[in-house]
A and B are shown apart, each in its own frame.
Chain A
C-alpha cells in the first residue's frame, strides 16, 4: 500500500484562506492536515488600545461574521464593566445578530455549498439538470434569488445597524439607535417578505412544518423547494454517512435576552450537560505560535516567524475537557434539544450539518418575527457604565458557524490582553500535543477519493459542510 499526498488549495467558496493536505491510500483519505495560511494579528493590534476601540476593530476581523464579533466584544466589555444591557437593547441586538446569522446560512447554502453539485462530475445523475439550473455558480436561479432575498432582508441592518458589515450599533449596554414605531413595522415588512421567499423558493412549504420535523426519516420525506432538491441529492450521494463527526457538540447559547438565551448553551455528547468555559485551553503544539498551552484568559499570541515544524498552520488548537468539540448550527440545535437535530447527530456527517443549518433557518424566522413584534419604541435601548481601570471580561456568543468567545483583560484603563477563539478555530483546529486531530481533520479520514481526482469532490462536500470562516479562525 503506497500513500500519496495531495495538497488542495486555494480551497475556495469558504470565507478566507484554506489549504488541506491529504494523505491518500487505497482510494480513501488516510490523514488530513488543515492549514489556515493567513495571519493578521488582531489580538496584537488590540493590545494597548482603549477598551472601547475593540467595538470598532473586532468586527473587521470578519466580513461575514462581523456582527457576531461585535456582539462578543460588547459582551466582554459589559462583563468587564459589570454592566447589564437594557433588556430592549439586548433584544434589538439579538434581532440584528439573528439577521446576520440567517443571511450567513443563505450564503453558505446557495453560494458556497450547493454549486459543487452542478459540477460536470455529477452529469448523468437524475438531479444534475436541476442542480445546474438552480445552483450553477453565478448563473443559477436559486443563487440569484438568494442574493436578492439576502440583500432585501439586510434592510433591517441598514435601518437598525446603519450598515452591514462593520456596524458600531451594538454596544455593551444595548444599541445606538432607538427604534421608532415606524421602524418596527418596516422590520416586520422585511421579515414577511423574507418568509415569503423562503417558503416559496427555499423550503417549498411552511417553515413551521419544517421546524416540526422530528426525525431524519421525516426529513428525507420533505420534497419542497431547493431543500427538497438538496435532500434528493443527499440521499443519492450518501451524504448522511460522509464526513462524520465525533458526536461531541458545543454551544455557548444564542441570542441572550433578559430572560435567558433563545437557544440554550451547553455540551452534548450523547446527552446534554452544562458547559464550563474554565475548562477551555488553546494548545499551540502544531500551530506556528510560540508560548504554552493556556486558558484564553491567560493566553498569548506570538507568531513563530520561522514557521517551524511540527507547526503546520497559524490556527491554534482549542480543547475543552482535553478533547475536540464540533460547533455550528447543528451543535446549537442539538444542544437546544431539537429532536430532528439530535437524530441528525447520530450520523453527524455532511447531511446533518447542512440540514442543521436549514432547521435553524426555519426556526430563526419565528424568533426574528417575535423579536420584531416585541419591539417597544417607548423603552430605553442603551445604558452605560464606566470601564474600571482594572477588569476582566468574557464575551460568549453564537456566530452562524458556532461558538465565539472573546477574553478581555483591562489594566490601567487599556487592553492588556485580548484573546479570541472563533468557531472555525474549534472545527478546523490542527492536532494537539497528544496528536489528536481537529474535528475537520478527523471527519476527513476515510472519505473516498476517486482515481485521478485532483480536487476530490467528496472532500469538498465535507469541508464546506462545516461552513468554515477562515478569516475568523486565525484573526
Chain B
C-alpha cells in the first residue's frame, strides 16, 4: 500500500502524536502492515527536488497512490489564491497540489480535525480562509467538492481529533490496507466508527461524580467537569477514556475538560473552553440524546442523594474521604 503524507496548514501535531504509537512503534507497524511511505515530510530522506520528483511522479500517474493522508487544513486565502501556504520549492499552493493529487488516490484520509473540518486554523475570524478537505465545519464540501470520492469509492475519511490518537490513524490505515473499511464503517461526519461510536464519557474516571452531579468548582478539583468547567465529554465522540493516551492519560484524567476536539466547529464553542454556559444556573448543552426534563429530574434526585464521600471528594484536589471499609462478617 503506497501512502503519501502531506502537511497542509496545521501544527504537525498529528504526526508527532502518531510517533507515540506503541506495541509496536509506528515505523515497525507500517513495515509489518505493508504500508509503504512514498514520502512523509517529517520522516523521509528526500528533500527539495528529490521530494518534488516523487510528487510529480504521483501526479503524472507513474506511481500508484493508494492512500493520500493530509494533515492540516487547506488554506484558500488570501483572496482565493491559496498563497497563505505555498508548497516550498514549487511555487504552487498546497491547495493546488492537494486538489491535483486527491483524484489520483485510492483513498483520501484527512488526519486530524484541521484536515477533516477546518479545525483550530479556522477559529476566530478564520484569517487564512482555512477549510477541511471534504467538509467545512459541519457542512459537506470543503476544499474538495461535496460529491468527492477517492478512486476506491469512499468519501474523505475523517480521522478527526486535535490531535489524533496514534491508534486511530494506524488502525484506519491497517483497515484500509486489509480492505475492510467500507462506507458503513464511517459515521455521519466520515469518522471511523471504531472510535467515533464511543463517547469520551465512556470510562471517564469521573463517572461516579457525574452520577451524582458532584461537580468540580476549580480545575484541580476531582469532581465532574461538566456542570462548571466546560466539559462536553458526554456529547463528544472518541474512545479516549477506553483506550487512553500516552500510556494511560486522557483530558479528563489529566484534570481538564473534554472540548470535543473530534467534532466539527469545536474550535468555536461560543463560550470560554473551560466554563460551562448556563441559563438560570442550569448548564446548556446537556447530553444530546436524553430528554432534558428527565435529565433535570434525575440530576436533582441524584444531587440530593450524594454520599458525603463523593460530595467532599468532588471539591477536593485529592481523595479526602476514602471508601468506607466493610467490617468482618461476624
Pick the contact of B17 from A39, A107, A164 — CB < 8 Å? A164
Taken together as a complex, chains A and B put the C-alpha atoms of A165 and B17 apart, in Å, by: 7
Closest residue of B by beta carbon distance from A154: B246
Instruction: Decide: B125 and A169 in contact? CB cutoff 8 A.
Output: no
The answer to the question of B15 belonging to the interface, with a C-beta cut-off of 8 Å to chain A, is yes
Asked if B47 contacts A10 (CB within 8 A), the reply is: yes
Considering only CB atoms, which chain B residue lies closest to A150 in the complex? B19
Closest to A307 in B: B83
Central interface residue in B13, B49, B245, by most chain A CB within 10 Å: B13
Residue pair A158, B27 in contact (C-beta under 8 Å): no
Judge whether B27 and A143 touch: CB under 8 Å: yes
Which A residues are CB-close (under 8 A) to B9?
38, 40
Q: Which of A13, A62, A144, A171 contacts B219 (CB 8 A)?
A: A171
Residues 161-187 of chain A: 1 if any B CB is under 8 Å from the residue's CB, otherwise 0?
111111111010011111010000000
B124 to chain A, nearest CB (A): 4
A456 CB, nearest partner CB in chain B, Å: 9
Are the CB atoms of B219 and A111 closer together than 8 Å?
A: no
A147 touches B163 (CB 8 A): no
Q: Is the CB–CB distance between A41 and B127 below 8 Å? A: yes
Give which listed residue, B22, B84, B128, contacts A148 with CB less than 8 A: B22
Can you name the residue of chain B whose Cβ is closest to the Cβ of A147?
B25
A134-169 contact mask (Cβ, 8 Å, vs B): 1 or 0? 001111000110011011101101111111111111
The reply to whether the CB of A16 lies closer than 8 angstroms to some CB of chain B is: yes
CB contacts (< 8 Å) of B247 on chain A: these are 152, 154-155, 158-159
Q: Does B11 have its Cβ within 8 Å of any Cβ on chain A?
A: yes
The reply to whether B254 and A168 form a contact with Cβ atoms under 8 Å apart is: yes
Are the CB atoms of B162 and A60 closer together than 8 Å?
Answer: yes
Bound CA–CA A144/B240 (angstroms): 26
Closest CB in chain B relative to A5 CB, distance in Å: 12
Q: Give Cα A15–Cα B41 distance, bound, in whole angstroms.
A: 8
Number of chain B residues whose Cβ lies closer than 8 Å to a Cβ of chain A = 83
Question: Is A57 close to B, CB under 8 A?
Answer: yes
Stretch of A114-122, A271-279, A327-335 lying at the B interface: A114-122
A34 to B50, CA, bound (A): 19
Which of A45-79 touch B at CB < 8 Å? Answer: 45-50, 52-53, 55-57, 60-64, 66
Judge if A18 is at the interface, Cβ distance under 8 Å: yes
- Cβ contacts under 8 Å, B246 to chain A: 151, 154-155, 157-159, 163-164
Interface presence of A9 (CB below 8 A): yes
Question: Whole-angstrom distance between the alpha carbons of A213 and B249 in the complex?
Answer: 38
A13 touches B47 (CB 8 A): yes
The verdict on A63 contacting B11 (CB below 8 Å), with A159-B249, A160-B254 known, is yes
Interface residue stretch chosen among A376-384, A394-402, A427-435, A441-449: A376-384
Interface: A194 (CB within 8 A): no
Q: Which residues of B contact A138 (CB under 8 A)?
A: 27, 30-31, 37, 43-44
Find B45's partner among A116, A165, A454 (CB 8 Å cutoff): A116
Q: Are A64 and B43 in contact (CB under 8 A)?
A: no
A48 to B20, CA, bound (A): 35
Contact among A18, A40, A53 with B128 in the assembled complex (CB-CB below 8 Å): A40
Whole-angstrom CA separation of A10 from B13 in the bound complex: 19
Residues 128-174 of B contacting A (Cβ, < 8 Å): 128, 130, 162-163
Contact B12 A48 (CB under 8 A): no
> A123 interface residue, CB < 8 Å from B?
no
- The answer to whether A44 and B85 have CB atoms under 8 Å apart is no
In the complex, the chain A residue whose C-beta lies closest to that of B86 is A37
Q: Which residue of A lies closest to B271 (CB)?
A: A50
Known: A7-B89, A47-B124. A169 touches B11 (CB 8 A): no
A19 interface residue per 8 A CB criterion: yes
CA distance A44 to B27 in the complex (A): 37
B292 within 8 A of A: no
- Closest B residue to A145 using CB positions: B25
- Asked, given contacts A9-B89, A41-B127, whether A162 binds B272 with beta carbons under 8 Å apart, the answer is no
Q: Which 4 A-B pairs give the minimum distances between C-beta atoms? A: A162-B254, A63-B13, A9-B88, A9-B89
Of the A-B pairs whose beta carbons lie under 8 Å apart in the complex, a sample of 28, sorted by A's number, is A11-B88, A13-B47, A38-B75, A38-B85, A40-B84, A40-B130, A41-B128, A45-B120, A63-B11, A107-B16, A116-B45, A137-B44, A138-B44, A139-B31, A150-B19, A151-B19, A151-B25, A154-B246, A157-B246, A158-B245, A159-B246, A162-B252, A164-B16, A165-B17, A167-B256, A303-B78, A455-B48, A455-B50
Interface of A with B (CB < 8 Å)? 7-13, 15-19, 35, 37-41, 44-50, 52-53, 55-57, 60-64, 66, 107, 111-112, 115-116, 118-119, 136-139, 143-144, 147-148, 150-152, 154-155, 157-169, 171, 174-178, 180, 303, 305, 307, 314, 377, 380-382, 384, 454-455, 460, 471
